[in-house]
């Protein structure tokens, strides 16, 4: 499962001939990444047709919705990506926490469908993936594999999702309705932290040459999509809220996961001068302490350092407990919890409803943002940018588990106040680290054991990632990919 940078390859060969034929018959056109970066500039005319399509269907036109500018009801484009500013009266800090919302992406209601597209399409363009012969294997902890299955279904190839058996029931229910074969849902042992078990299953699948492993943890397409598309979307949000010109963007905060979303931090660091803060569960403090364990912040798989994590460009590691994300999920997403907040925090109905846009990893990002704000002593003109990969609707079964685990006396005023005080008002700056060069080297070196020893990446390909120029040069590949997409579309 070694990963290489995309290369310019002439469009030709039997595989691409079959792809052209299939796309022409199915009416498939591929969006360019520049179109997904600035859909308002390039896609307005196309949206007359897109608006007629169910955003939850496997329709080729939904490929043109793989961006941050969808509206809640998906009929058209918005000028500013959907986001929420966490109410100050809720978190009791002066700094502004701005969360861009992934729940409005099509088909899977999570932004992971964007990197899934970015990881499969380059293989198709170079003829390295034959839609008729190959099967796409999508290893992840839930959302990326769903995105991969959705993209595969649109493009007409078989896909297999590989994910831990302990992930939320909502993910498996979605997959059951989308895969072509029941055995294309492969449940691996464990939960969120058991990424190694996913890799082991993929190794077995890779023994069949027809299976192509598209591993989000090592696919540079994942990095490129977020740096090129997600980063500018976040900058657009910041510029929109900074109408006075007095605000300062201080940090981008995102959970580790596959490290794809963290690439947006590399963009914002260059454009706005922000810190990049990576979030992990304190129950499995891999980056903080070379640690291990299990947790339930679904979407931030760990016990390893992703190959596409730009470790040497990371400024902070911030630990968040799943006790906090589970408990706050209950408070934010139950009638009793929302009534408690309405009575005690004087939040508007709109503010209360907006909290349901935060899935478990989104909650962890907000908590980590509060920790960063307190650590840095930020004020009212400071802004922290983050994302919510998905919304609370993907965790309703987890909500029931959390009720019994952390509110065993029921959702009464006392238990709600205790949990809100402990997990929101009581947030401290523990379990976080401002990284020195030595700290970065330690974390970088930790990745050796996964990628060189276990997954066969060469020392040369592993070490080159220390240089920031390596990551900058990845983005130079995007115009090449767009040229190839344009060439393919024109040939249909």
Where residue 159 sits, what CATH number does that domain have? 3.40.50.1100
Number of C-beta neighbours around residue 426 at 10 A: 10
**Residue at 145 is within a domain:** yes
**Residue at 238 is within a domain:** yes
**Residue at 295 is within a domain:** yes
Q: Is 45 exposed, middle or buried (CB count within 10 Å of its CB: 0-12, 13-18, 19+)?
A: exposed
pLDDT confidence of residue 1: 37
**Residue at 378 is within a domain:** yes
In terms of domains, do 319 and 402 share one? yes
In terms of domains, do 276 and 389 share one? yes
Cα(41)–Cα(265) distance, integer angstroms? 24
**Residue at 425 is within a domain:** yes
**Residue at 206 is within a domain:** yes
**Residue at 451 is within a domain:** no
In terms of domains, do 322 and 235 share one? yes
In terms of domains, do 226 and 324 share one? yes
**Residue at 458 is within a domain:** no
pLDDT confidence of residue 330: 96
In terms of domains, do 314 and 270 share one? yes
Q: What is the mean pLDDT of each run of 10 residues along the chain (492 residues)?
A: 43 80 95 97 91 95 97 85 94 96 96 97 93 94 93 96 91 94 92 82 95 95 98 98 96 93 98 97 93 80 87 97 96 95 89 94 97 98 97 91 91 95 96 98 96 95 98 96 96 91
Domains: count for the chain: 3
Among the candidates 405, 434, 463, a domain finishes at 434
In terms of domains, do 314 and 384 share one? yes
In terms of domains, do 195 and 266 share one? no
In terms of domains, do 325 and 423 share one? yes
In terms of domains, do 89 and 198 share one? no
Q: How far is CA 391 from CA 65, 304, 388, 433, in A?
A: 18, 26, 7, 28
In terms of domains, do 257 and 146 share one? no
Among the candidates 215, 241, 273, a domain finishes at 215
pLDDT confidence of residue 299: 66
Among the candidates 383, 418, 434, a domain finishes at 434
In terms of domains, do 88 and 68 share one? no
pLDDT confidence of residue 9: 46
Q: In terms of residue numbers, what domain contains 51? A: 41-78
The overall pTM is greater than 0.85: yes
In terms of domains, do 423 and 314 share one? yes
């Amino acid at each position: 499962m070694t990963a290489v940078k995309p290369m310019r390859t002439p469009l030709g060969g039997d595989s691409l001939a079959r792809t052209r034929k299939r796309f022409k018959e199915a009416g498939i056109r591929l969006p360019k990444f520049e179109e997904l970066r600035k859909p308002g500039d390039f896609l307005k005319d196309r949206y007359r047709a897109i608006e007629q399509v169910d955003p939850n269907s496997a329709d080729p036109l939904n490929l043109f919705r793989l961006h941050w500018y969808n509206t809640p009801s998906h009929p058209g484009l918005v000028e500013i990506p959907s986001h929420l500013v966490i109410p100050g009266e809720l978190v009791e800090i002066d700094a502004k926490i701005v969360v861009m919302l992934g729940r409005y992406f099509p088909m899977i209601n999570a932004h992971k469908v964007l990197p899934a597209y970015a990881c499969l399409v380059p293989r198709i363009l170079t003829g390295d993936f034959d839609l008729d012969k190959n099967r796409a294997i999508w290893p992840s902890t839930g959302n990326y594999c769903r995105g991969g299955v959705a993209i595969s279904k649109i493009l007409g190839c078989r896909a297999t999702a590989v994910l831990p058996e302990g992930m939320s029931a909502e993910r498996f229910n979605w997959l059951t309705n989308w895969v072509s074969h029941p055995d294309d849902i492969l449940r691996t042992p464990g939960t969120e932290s058991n990424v190694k078990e996913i890799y082991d299953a993929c190794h077995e699948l890779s023994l069949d040459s027809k299976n192509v492993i598209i591993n989000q943890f090592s696919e540079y397409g994942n990095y490129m999509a977020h740096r090129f598309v997600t980063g500018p979307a976040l900058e657009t949000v910041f510029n929109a809220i900074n109408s006075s010109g007095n605000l300062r963007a201080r940090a981008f905060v995102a959970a580790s996961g596959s490290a794809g979303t963290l690439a947006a931090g590399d963009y914002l660091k260059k454009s706005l001068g922000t810190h990049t803060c990576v979030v992990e569960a304190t129950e499995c403090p891999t980056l903080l302490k070379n640690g291990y364990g299990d947790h339930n912040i679904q979407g931030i798989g760990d016990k390893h350092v992703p190959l596409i994590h730009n470790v040497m460009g990371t400024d902070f590691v911030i630990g968040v407990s799943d006790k906090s994300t589970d408990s706050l999920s209950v408070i934010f997403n139950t009638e009793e919890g929302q009534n408690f907040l309405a009575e005690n925090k004087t939040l508007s109905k709109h503010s209360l409803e907006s909290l349901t846009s935060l899935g478990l990893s989104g909650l962890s990002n907000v908590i980590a943002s509060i920790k960063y704000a307190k650590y840095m002593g930020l004020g009212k003109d400071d802004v922290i940018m983050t994302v919510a990969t998905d919304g609370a609707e993907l965790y309703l079964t987890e909500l029931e588990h959390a009720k019994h685990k952390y509110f065993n006396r029921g959702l009464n005023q006392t238990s709600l106040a205790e949990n809100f005080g402990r997990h929101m008002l009581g947030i401290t700056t523990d379990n976080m680290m401002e990284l020195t060069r030595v700290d970065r080297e330690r974390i970088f070196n930790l990745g050796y054991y996964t990628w060189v020893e276990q997954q066969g990446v060469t020392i040369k390909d592993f070490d080159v990632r220390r240089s920031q120029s390596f990551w900058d040069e990845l983005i130079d590949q995007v115009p090449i990919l767009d040229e190839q997409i344009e060439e393919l579309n024109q040939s249909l």
